[in-house]
Structures are given as C-alpha cells and as structure tokens.
Structure 1
C-alpha cells in the first residue's frame, strides 16, 4: 500500500478517455488568463508613463518634481528689446508761426490792391488803398470845430485877464471874476476835446492804407477794386489772410499713458506722405500743463524750422516722438504673477533665488507685453510661474534647457 502511494505521487495520473473521461477544472484556466491580463496592463501603464513624462518635460514652463523635496526646477525666458521701439507716431497739421486774417478798420471802397495770393510781403508794406469819403468829411468838420473852440478860448482868456485887473482895483466883485475864470476853464476843456476828436479821425483815416502787420506770404485775397468794406469784421469776411511759414508750428495730442515721457526741448521728426524719404527735424516748444479730460491727452506744440519753404501750412503730417532712449522690452504674457500690489514677474537671480519684480506695462499686445520698466534684457524670467511662488524662494533652471527667446520683430 505504501509503495503504491509513493509511486502515485511521482507519476501523475493520466486523464481518462472515453466514457469515463472528465474535463479539466475551469478555475485553473481562468486564473492563468487573469494573470496574463494583469501583466499586459502593467506593461501598458509603464509605456504611457514614460510617454507622458517625456511630453511634460518638453513643455515650456513645466516644473519638474523636486528632487530633494525643497528645490523647484523652472524654465525661463529672456526679454527681447523691441526693434524701433521708443517712438510713437502722432498725426498733426502744420500751422504758420503767425497766422492772421486782415480786416479793415475804416468803412469805404477799395481803390486798389497791391498783393495777391502767394505774394511775399514785408511788415508795413501796403496791401490795398481804400476811399473813405465819410471819414474825410468827419475829419474836416472836426478840424473846423477845433478852430472854433480855439477862438472861443482866446476870447475867454482875454475876458478873464481883464476881470482880473478890475478886481485888483476893486471895481469888479469876486463872484464876477470867478464866473469869468469858470468860462475860461470850460473853453480850455472844449479845445482839448476838439483836439482829441481830430486825432481820432486822423488815425482812422490812416486805416485807408491796409498794410501787412508782419512779414510773410498772402494766402487769401477776398476783395477787388470797388468793393465796399466795413470797419471791423461786420461782414465776417477778411480782406486778406497772411501767414508766416518759417518756422512752423505743429500741435499734437499725446495720449495720457506717455505724458511722463516727454520734455520741453526734446527733438522730434516730422514726415509728410507727399514728400517720401524726407525727414524734417524740430523740437517740442511748449507742453500743456494739464491733461484734457475729454480726450485724456496732453497737447504739445512742436516748433519746426522751414527755411526753404518745402512744407506748407495746413498740410497733414506725422510727428515721430521718441519717448525713451532704450525703448521697452518684450516678454510673453505667461510670465505675469498677479499680486494685490500690481503685476509682478519672477526673475531668477545669480544665487538661484526668486526675485518678484514690480513692472510697468506699456502696451498689451495679446500674446506678448511691452514692459516699460522693472526688468533688464539679461534677466531670466520664469515662464508659467506658480501662484504660490514667493520672493526669495530657491529654484533651479531645468538642466540642459536652451534659453527661450522671443522671435525677432
């Protein structure tokens, strides 16, 4: 019995065939299948893990898990200096240094005109002559009245002197003498009034000659021989218009965002589309003392020399204004760290510690930002920084990373 038992343990029993045969047990086959599936699933998970890890490490801004539990790995970017930056172009209109409409100060008819449009004239040059018959008659009448007042005064002076002599001999009363003195003083005042009226009419008659108030060029002539003109601008039409075209003025409106970047005497460049390739240099002569609340802009007056008269008043021009010597720096929009004090960027210092820098954004260009101040061109700025990143935190740049640079504009 024992011998048979030992042999049966060594030599496995053969399965039965035929009518008394039976199938293998199902649980053994199911276990084998499940085990193989588990092995295949683990292999697949390993492959996916390797693929995802490689993809994440190649993504800019990815933070590698800390190797020692305290150091964070980051990707950084270098700011780029904007080519041709620091300039803003503003539209403007050329104006003469002096622009003046010329009206008549006397009412009369145009006898002759001596200057037409485009004529260059000097100060005091006669532009037109008027015929003023009414003023001539008024002047003659005023002269006659002055002569009459002068004769009356002479009689009053003689009478007053005689009554003074009578009073000295006690022949005339004091009251009579005072009456003669009062009459004399009234006649003196009447003569002075007559003289003033004559002077007024003579000055008014001098306005028969329309003269140039300054040296310049005639830009309009609105009268012809025989036209009736009125004193002042009653008709609303000037006889002539003049302009002094050297130097020229240009008034531009500078947006409030750039108001702190300009100063009086700063050089500017003016261009005109009709004069391609030509640049005209001027300077800021005056700066308005306040921002216009309706347009949120600052008015500037640019003084522009024009000795050869190539530029004409009234022309549309572009004024190039340099706001700074270096210009802004360009960074991607995914470097910002938002704090309650304002936007910041995280800069990696030489010691590997984070410096949260306060920045001034000049313009938001969508995917990039122009930074006015706060960073330098050599600063290493962290891409996609964590919201919890803190000033002084120790980080490391991803080993082997090629420094990310913005494309050249």
Structure 2
C-alpha cells in the first residue's frame, strides 16, 4: 500500500521541530543569563546599616590630684644646743607665737657673757682714751705738745670708739640668736610633724628633712592637678571641680580654680593647675591623693558616633553618609574627643544618616541598600 506522506513533508516537519527546540533553548538560556545578571548586580550592591549621630552628651573630665596645705612652715633650728623640752605633739592645734619647744644653749650663753665682758672693757678703755685726747688737745693750745702727738691720741680714741661699736653689735647679734632658743609657731595651724625629742643634739641647718617641727594651716587646702594640653580650653580661673578622696566614699568637696601655671611641661605634656578647697571641718588632709572632676558640657556642634563609623585614609578622617537616592557621600570630620566606646565629631550635622560599618573601598556615588 503506498504511503500517505511524502518524504518532503516529513523532512519539513522535522526541520520545524528542530527549529522549535533550538529556539526554546535559546530563549531559556537568555532568560537564565538575564536572571543571573540581575542577581549578580543585586549582590554587587552592599547592604548597610545606618545610624543617626546623637548630639554629644555632657561629659566630665576626671584627673588625679594632690592635696597640700595652704600654708606649710618647716621649723628649723637657728642655734645649736640640746632640746630642753617640747610642748606640742603631732596633731596639736597651735596659735601664732605659741612656744613649740625650748633649746638649751650653754655654748652660746657663754659666748654672750664673754661678749658683754669684752664690751665693758672696751667701754672703759674708750672713756680713758677720750679723756686723754681731750687733755692733749688742751696741751696743744698751750704749745706744750706737738700736733703729731695730739693726732695719735685722737686717733686712738676713734679706734677704741669703733671697737666699742663692733663689740656692741656682736652682743646684739648673740642676744638676738638667743631668742631663737624658743621655737614658736609662725601662724595658727596644726603641728603635722615633730622630728625631735628631749635631750637631742640640735644643730643649725635648713636642709630638707632636718626640720624639728612642721606647722600647717589646714583650714584651707591647695589642690594640684596636671591637666593635659588637649583639655586646657575648658579650665579657667574660677572654674569649679568636685574633689573626692578614697577614705570618704560618696562625699564630694567643691574646689575653685585659683591659677594656672601658663606653661606646658615638656616631659608630661600637661599644665599644672592650682585649686583651693575649704577645709574648716578638717575632713581633708594635706599630702593625700584625690580625684578632681571638672563638669563640662560637650561642644554645641559636636555629635557622637561609634568608632567603627570612621574611615581613616589619605584624605584624613571621614564618615560615609547616605543621601535620599541611596548613594554614598563621604564627608570629612574632625575628632573632638575619643571616649573609647564613642567618638565626638565636629563638622557633622546631627540629622544625617551615617553608615555604621562602611564596607572596604566605598567611594562617593556608590549605591547601597539600606538594611531594614
């Protein structure tokens, strides 16, 4: 039986089928390529988290401090001898002029007696020399003696007079030194050191550590703080600070800045600042270590961001912000203060959107996707 289909028809149908299969494969492959390209493009756009910089909060500057007496007077010996007795011990309040101790000075007493005896002898010789000079001047008027002899007698009188004046000055010196056998308080205060005892040999001297007593005025104290150069702008005469000491937890003492050294120490990079604190109740003691806290508001144009938001490179310090079209804009900033877990910046508006952790190589105009 002859076939109903011709060979040409079968070939045409096969060709159509092949073309359909090829076209389907091309369309499918192109669809997959477009989808892959779109996926790759989407993955090339980084997803970032944003934060809004907060205004810099008020902060405090805390520094170690040293407390000293407002007035401190080491009492040294001006005469040599032995300590006869002392009247006050450490911690004793004293008044100005009050006797602290008495030094027995046998050698100086004998020197004073000897000086007085020499003065008495010199005065007797002076009286004789005066009367002799006067008699010889009378004889000169009578032409009984020569001018040379009279001049010798007058010169002898002048020499003895000068000797009397010298001996008188020596007696006054020894008498003045004898008054220093009594050690007295120079002002109202408290005895904070006693480094002698009855019978001790006392020598004249003013070397450090050889003082017999130390009297300190504790009604008002000085507080010394070394302030870093970066923080000096916030410290001015009249500024207030809160002083705390470890032996009185929870208690604060208000101190006032009195003066600044007006010079930076080359070794530490700090300036010495002196404060005054009232101590009428005696709660603070000189020589103690303390903490000084200077309360100060943050800069009005400063904002605070985490340290991870900063980009540090050849262009300085920058932050990456995101505009309304989700494009990156790099903005230079200045670090006002590093607090460790936060950085205060100047030159950044509070309302901008900042990338919390900018990706490596981010540049101006790069698109980003904001994380929900």
TM > 0.5? yes
Residue 331 of structure 1 corresponds to which residue in structure 2?
A: 305
Q: Distance in 2 between matches of 1:355 and 1:29?
A: 54
Question: Any gaps of 5 or more consecutive residues in structure 1?
Answer: 1-6, 16-22, 62-76, 390-394, 403-409
Secondary structure class of the residue paired with 2:48: coil
Question: Any gaps of 5 or more consecutive residues in structure 2?
Answer: 324-328
Deviations 1:301-345 (A, max 9, x none): 1111111111111222101124556575313454668787x6577
Residue 52 of structure 1 corresponds to which residue in structure 2?
A: 43
Residue 282 of structure 1 corresponds to which residue in structure 2?
A: 255
Matches within 5 A, 1:245-394: 245-322=218-295, 326=299, 328-333=302-307, 334=309, 343=317, 359=334, 361-363=336-338, 365=340, 368-371=342-345, 373-375=346-348, 378=350, 380=352, 383=355
Shift of 1:142: 0.5
Q: Distance in 2 between matches of 1:157 and 1:261?
A: 77
Check 1:363–1:125 CA distance in 2 against 1; reply closer, same or farther (3 A cut). same
Shift of 1:176: 2.0
Residue 96 of structure 2 corresponds to which residue in structure 1?
A: 123
* Deviating more after overlay: 246-255 vs 234-243: 234-243
Aligned counterpart for 1:206 among listed residues 179, 182, 186: 179
Residue 55 of structure 2 corresponds to which residue in structure 1?
A: 81
Q: Distance in 2 between matches of 1:101 and 1:307?
A: 22
Q: Distance in 1 between matches of 2:303 and 2:115?
A: 78
Q: Contact 1:347 / 1:379 at 8 angstroms: preserved in 2? A: no
Matched, 1:191 2:164: yes
Normalising by the residue count of structure 2, what TM-score does the alignment of the two structures yield? 0.80
Shift of 1:221: 1.8
Check 1:91–1:170 CA distance in 2 against 1; reply closer, same or farther (3 A cut). same
Check 1:346–1:159 CA distance in 2 against 1; reply closer, same or farther (3 A cut). farther
Deviations 1:344-371 (A, max 9, x none): 779999xxxx9977635332737x4223
Shift of 1:158: 1.3
| Residues matched between the structures, number | 359
CA RMSD of aligned residues (A): 4.1
Deviations 1:3-31 (A, max 9, x none): xxxx859975899xxxxxxx999966973
Residue 141 of structure 1 corresponds to which residue in structure 2?
A: 114
Q: Contact 1:89 / 1:319 at 8 angstroms: preserved in 2? A: yes
Q: Distance in 1 between matches of 2:99 and 2:353?
A: 72
Matched, 1:92 2:65: yes
Q: Contact 2:85 / 2:198 at 8 angstroms: preserved in 1? A: yes
Q: Contact 1:337 / 1:346 at 8 angstroms: preserved in 2? A: no
Aligned counterpart for 1:221 among listed residues 194, 211, 217: 194
